[in-house]
Every structure is written in C-alpha cells, then in structure tokens.
Amino acid sequence: MAESENKTPNYVQELFGTCLLSYTVAEGGNGGLILAVLIYGGGHISGANYNPAVSLCLFLNGTLDMNDMVIYMICQYIGAVIGMVLSLDGGLGYPVLADVSAGTCMLHEILYGGLLCYTVLNVAISVGTSGNPFYGAAIGGVVMAGVGIMNPAIGLVVFLNNSEGALFALFGSFIGAVWAAFLFKMTSPKDFAEAAPAAAPAAETAQ
C-alpha cells in the first residue's frame, strides 16, 4: 500500500501566506506586490493559492482535488482573520466600500476576480507557459492594476472590519473563478489534450 503524501506543509503555507497577505493589506501595504513575493516564495510548496476563488478555479480545472480545495480554503480564511487580528492599526488599511454600489462591487469581483483566476491558469498551469519566470509578477500585477478585492478571504475580513459594501466580495470572485475555468478550457485545448496520451498505456495494460 502506497504511503500517503504529507500535505501539512501545503496547508501551513496557505495559512501563512494568506495571513501575511491580509496583514499587509490591513497595514496599508501593496497587496499585489506582497502577493507576487509570496507566490515566488511558496509556489513550490502549496501552489501559492492564498485565495479561495483561485482554489475553486484550480479544482474546476482538475489541478486541485476536492479535499485539498476544502482544506486550502479553511486555511486561507483562518489566515486572513489572523492577519486582521495582528494588525496594529485595527485593519485601517483595508478598503472601505461603503460608497461603492452593490452592483458595481459585484461586477468588480466577477470581472477582476475572474481575471486573476484566468491569469493563474495561463501563467502557472498552462503547458504553453511552463517554466516561465514571470508568473508571480503577472498574478500580482492583476491585483495591483485591477479594481476590487478579488479574494473572498480578504473580502471576509474587510466585511468583518465594518465595511458593509464588502458583502458581495464574499462570493463575487467565486463566480469569476467559474468563468475563468470555462474560458481556459475553451481557449487552451492543448492543456487538456496533453492528459489524453498519458492515460492510454494504463488502458492498454488493462486489456
């Protein structure tokens, strides 16, 4: 019986990375830049999701299994809350969305949260860009250039930090993750065709 892989380092990295991301945003730091750093620093450990929407997208893409997706999400939410608690300024750096209409907030999360997921698929998962050195910069760049929170875990702490306008940030990016996974499948057939030949030998052996 094969010994199961120890995934504890993956889960710890997701908790730590999301905690530091949340803390940096709470303190008014550059979320996109710290995200890029954390991706380069932890990508080889857990895949550096740090975002429940990204984990959902990777699950839909077949990169992450359901068990890991659920545990990743739990770690991400816990990490985000710890980051908020650690903030000496009481989370004053978190965006205040009270003046943003519900429809606008939702649109931002669906569009830019989805763009973030789509970028992850194209620069960190696609065989066409395998081994590239710019994946972290590209993903962090979406956060720096985009509009919205783009991360349901950060959306939770923004909401808890008395920003009622963040209500739609709790789930808008999940919708974005769905369209990102669908679009990637439509636009990157080679990534899915690569899996077919690998399954053939096993099928032949069974005959």
Q: CA–CA separation, 106 vs 51, rounded Å?
A: 17
SS3 161: coil
Provide the residue-wise pLDDT of the chain in tens; the chain has 207 residues: 445 789 999 999 999 999 999 999 999 899 999 999 999 999 999 999 999 999 999 999 999 999 999 999 999 999 999 999 998 766 666 776 656 777 888 999 999 999 999 999 999 999 999 999 999 999 999 999 998 899 999 999 988 886 666 778 889 999 999 999 999 999 999 988 854 443 333 333 333
Query: According to DSSP H, which parts of the chain are helical?
Result: 8-26, 31-46, 52-61, 66-86, 102-120, 135-145, 152-160, 172-187, 189-193, 195-206
In whole angstroms, give the CA distance from residue 72 to residue 19: 13
Which residues have CB under 8 Å from 52's CB, separation 6+? 72, 73, 76, 77, 151, 152, 153, 173, 174
Q: Which residues contact 198 (CB under 8 A, 6 or more apart)?
A: none
The domain 8-188 having CATH identifier 2.60.40.10: the answer here is: no
d(CA 58, CA 60): 5
Rounded Cα gap, residues 116 and 94, in angstroms: 19
CA distance 51 to 169: 12
